[in-house]
Amino acid sequence: MTPNRLIKSALPILIGAAVMLSLSTGMRQSFGVFMYPLTKETGISISEFTLAIAVQNLAWGFLQPWVGAWAGKYGYRYLMHIGALLYILGLTMIAMAHSFLAVMIGAGVLIGLSLACTGSAMAMAVATRCVSPQTRSTILGVVSAAGSIGALIAAPIGQSLSQDFGWRYGVFAFVVLSLFMIPAVWYASKVDGLPIPPRPGLDNKSPGVVAMKALKHPPFAVMTLAYFVCGMQLIFLTTHLPTYLEICGLDPMLSAKALGMIGGFNALGSLFFGWAGGRYNKLLLLGMIYVLRSIGVAIYFYYTPTPDTTLVFAAYIGFLWLGVAPLVAGYISETFGLRWQAMLSGIAFMSHQLGSFLGAFGGGLIFDALGSYNLALQIGVIVGLMAGIVQCIFALAWPKDPPLLVSANA
């Protein structure tokens, strides 16, 4: 295929994957703006709401390897379309909720299942299939950057409508936004028509064999364990930062601005780390991200927040937010090939989502028990620093992996 034909066939797929990712993760990252008014009206507790978000993360994480394996064997089309429909249904249930059960099913189960079909692992796997190895890391950064725009749009819309008309109107606005996922996944799923470069010794292996080879490979195992801390820190912030700012007596609209700021700087960070991942050690960059995040969280929450420091913190943490996605996806595709990338990304992501469960639900439990987030923040900073330092040390000590490790060792 000529370069012009390749670009022409890849561009709609890449745009579709970016829009799908932008909508699915952008709205999901903005659920925190509804937590305080939703819990007040429905009578459910903070910990119950965060339990629903925690279940969402568990459903997403534990289903992701299976969805990835299905995509490797049968393609992406039906999975991503089912995911888009589940997202619409889940948001509709939240908007009409009057009980904990409805919030759990809508925000927890349905959107969790949807994200496994439309989230970062699937979008990164789709994007990887479209481009050459030479440009892959940069393109992954571009798609991840475009995917981060969703929070920049969704959070202010949800907060504004929630303040002016009630939180249900904010969620219904998300329902309208989610409808645009349908044409996005239609274009993204055209990746099924692109050929996969044959990899002798890999294509004929079962998903289980490939998964076990990856888990026995020390760099992949360390990266997967460190990914746990990534999920714990980020979901704690998206879920609990709006309530923390409310408790501190700041304007409720500030939380939406902060989440939007995170989304905007996500784009810059994704572009930078996508570019850097094509030139430097991806695993070392991951470790540096975890260390720098932890330092930023410690400094921000040590002082009393103000509007200015909150927006500066949001910009800083946003720059370090989605940069992990192109680094993880790039490392997996380089080391293990393309066919099972979605599945292996899903295995790593399952660890991320276990951390997300702890960050969302654990933070809620600590707040309900102690009336503050201090202990949760201390735990998050300490564990984040430890994971980042271990990741950096291992990245420097381990020799560079040969490309297509599973094929070479088959």
CB 58 within 8 Å of CB 123: no
Instruction: For residue 27, count other CB atoms closer than 10 A to its CB.
Output: 26
pLDDT of amino acid 289 = 92
| Within a domain: 327 | yes
* Within a domain: 87: yes
Question: What range defines the domain where residue 78 resides?
Answer: 12-408
More confident residue, 6 or 25: 25
Asked if 334 and 402 touch (Cβ cutoff 8 Å), the reply is no
pLDDT digits (tens, 9 = 90+) for 321-354: 777 878 888 888 777 777 777 788 888 888 887 8
On whether residue 374 sits in a domain, the answer given is yes
Assess whether pLDDT exceeds 60 at residue 116. Answer: yes
- In this prediction the pTM is 0.73
- The structural domain count of the chain equals 1
C-alpha torsion angle, residues 218, 223, 226, 231 (rounded to 10): -150
d(CA 225, CA 272): 24
C-alpha count within 13 angstroms, C-beta hemisphere, residue 229: 27
At position 117, the amino acid (one-letter code) is C
SS3 326: helix
* 254-287 per-position pLDDT tens digit: 877 787 788 778 878 888 888 888 788 888 998 9
pLDDT at position 8 is: 60
Residue 316 pLDDT level (bands cut at 50, 70, 90): very high
Rounded Cα–Cα distance for residues 335 and 284 (Å): 15
Which tens digits make up the pLDDT trace of 253-263? 787 778 778 87
**pLDDT higher than 50, residue 4:** no
**Residue 7 included in any domain:** no
Q: How far is CA 386 from CA 219, 226, 235, 278, in A?
A: 16, 9, 18, 26
Residue 7: the pLDDT is 53
CATH number of domain containing 223: 1.20.1250.20
Helix (H) or strand (E) holding 3: helix 3-29
For 361-382, the pLDDT digits (tens) are: 787 788 778 877 788 888 888 9
- What's the CA angle centered on 214, arms 286 and 55, to 5 degrees? 70
Highest mean pLDDT among 111-125, 173-187, 227-241: 173-187
Residue 409 pLDDT class (50, 70, 90 cuts): very low
Q: Please work out, in degrees rounded to the nearest 5, the angle formed at the alpha carbon of residue 56 by the alpha carbons of 54 and 59.
A: 110
Residue 319 within any structural domain of the chain: yes
